[in-house]
Structures are given as C-alpha cells and as structure tokens.
Amino acid sequence: MKTAGLAFAHRAGEMNRLLSGAEKYRYKFFRVSSMGIAAAMISLTLLTGCSSEPEKPAEPAKPEVKGPELLTARSAFQKTYVAARGWSQDSKPYRIESVVTSDGNGREGKWAAWRAGFGSPTQRAAKTFIWSGSAADGAPSRGVSFGVEDSYSPTNASMQVWDVQFLKIDSDQALATAQKHGGDKILEKTPDTQVTYVCDWNHNTNKLIWHVIYGPNRESSKLTVSVDASTGDFIRVEK
C-alpha cells in the first residue's frame, strides 16, 4: 500500500509539472501574439499616416458670371413701363432710347440697356427709368433703375407724351426698314458701326417716330433714318 501511494504521488507530481509547463507556454504564446498584433497595428497606423495626404479644404464655389441679356426696345420698355406706373398711375412715355454699352452693337435691333422717359401731368414731374441686362463695366446695374425727378410741362415739345398703343413697331423692325434705305451700305462698308435708336413723338406730324441712327449718337452718325413707329413705313433720311 505504501509503495502504491508513493507511485500515485509521483505521477501526480509529474502531472502538475506538465500542467505548469503548459500554462507557462500558453502565457508566453498569448503574450508574444498580443505583442505581435500590437506592433502590426502600430506599423499600419504609421504607414497610413505617411502615405495619406491631409485633406485640403473645399474651394468656395466661384460666382457664375452672367453674360449680357440683349432685348429689343418694346421688350425692355414693358419692364420700365411697369415701374413708371408704380411711380405715377397717369404717367406716359415721351421717349425711348438705347443705351450704348460695350457688350452690344444694336445690329439686331437689340441692346443690353434701354432708357425710357415718362411724364406725369398730375405730379407735373418727369422721370427716367432704365432697364439693363448688361454685364459691361460702367453700364447701368442689372434690372430696372430710375433717375431723379425733373419738372414736366405738357407744352414742352421735347416731352410730348404718347399712348403706348402707338408703339406697334419694334426696334428690330425699324432697323429692317432703315436697312433698305442706305443702312445696308453703311454696315457693309463699316461693319463695326453701332446702330442706336430713339423713339419720340413728332408734334408737327402727330406721329410716333423711330430714329434709326448708324452711329453712337445723332451728332456723329453716318446715317439716320426715320421710320413710322405705328406702321413701319419709311418716312425720310434725316442725314
């Protein structure tokens, strides 16, 4: 019995040594594995940090630059007419004229800016309104703007107001008529000539007249043609 007990105790000791060795090996294995994983993660982080560039801040969107809006006289006049009626309900136009800008030449009866003068009998005042679709430097600001009030007298021949029903012919139609009476030759000879427009009332003939001007103004024009603004008929060559 004593010998058997000693043998059992010896085997138990051997088992304890084996188990203790296994525990130490597993501890070392897990320790080494954990250290290896940690080292790999650190290396990956360093590589990622070195290879990736810092994010650049997004550039602000550049404002869109709008090109010029070119309109014929009647289209622009309608915009000024609404504004004038807001100023005075009895206001009536006495002149429409193109405004010369660097982003137009008037060749199709169109400009990027138009000016219209209105008179109000009840207020005894006159006021100019400008529509602009121009993007050029020095041009009137886009939209409809207005000038300062001036005195108005119905006896002033240069401010003879007229009913809008008389304006049946647009600036492009007036140009087509003027082209048949010398304008085509002017543009053929000097293609860079600007074509400007003035529409007003002729108190001698009691007609609304388009003055198609081959030049930036009447004083320096190469040719000026009068066209009936109600019928489109040719009236005369002014110059």
On whether both 84 and 154 belong to a single domain, the answer is yes
Confidence of residue 54 (pLDDT cuts 50, 70, 90): low
pLDDT at 239: 79
pLDDT at 57: 67
> What range defines the domain where residue 47 resides?
1-52
Beta bridge partners of 93: 118
Q: What is the pLDDT of residues 197-225, one digit of tens each?
A: 999 999 999 999 999 999 999 999 999 99
On whether both 42 and 91 belong to a single domain, the answer is no
Residue 61 in any domain: the answer is: no
Distance of CA 199 to the CA centre of its chain: 29
SS3 category, 15? helix
Does the structure show a pLDDT above 80 at 106?
yes
**98 Cβ contact partners less than 8 Å away, ≥ 6 residues apart:** 73, 106, 111, 113, 114, 115, 171, 196, 197, 198
Does the structure show a pLDDT above 50 at 1?
no
Q: How far apart are CA 114 and CA 76, in angstroms?
A: 6
Q: Number of structural domains, the chain?
A: 2
pLDDT averaged over the chain? Answer: 84
DSSP string, 50-96: HHSPPPPPPPPPPPP------EEHHHHHHHHHHHHHHH-TT-EEEEE
On whether both 167 and 106 belong to a single domain, the answer is yes
The β-bridge relationship of strands 125-132 and 143-146 is: antiparallel
On whether both 29 and 128 belong to a single domain, the answer is no
| CA angle (87, 92, 96) in 5-degree steps | 100
Q: What is the pLDDT of residues 160-183, one digit of tens each?
A: 999 999 999 999 999 999 999 999
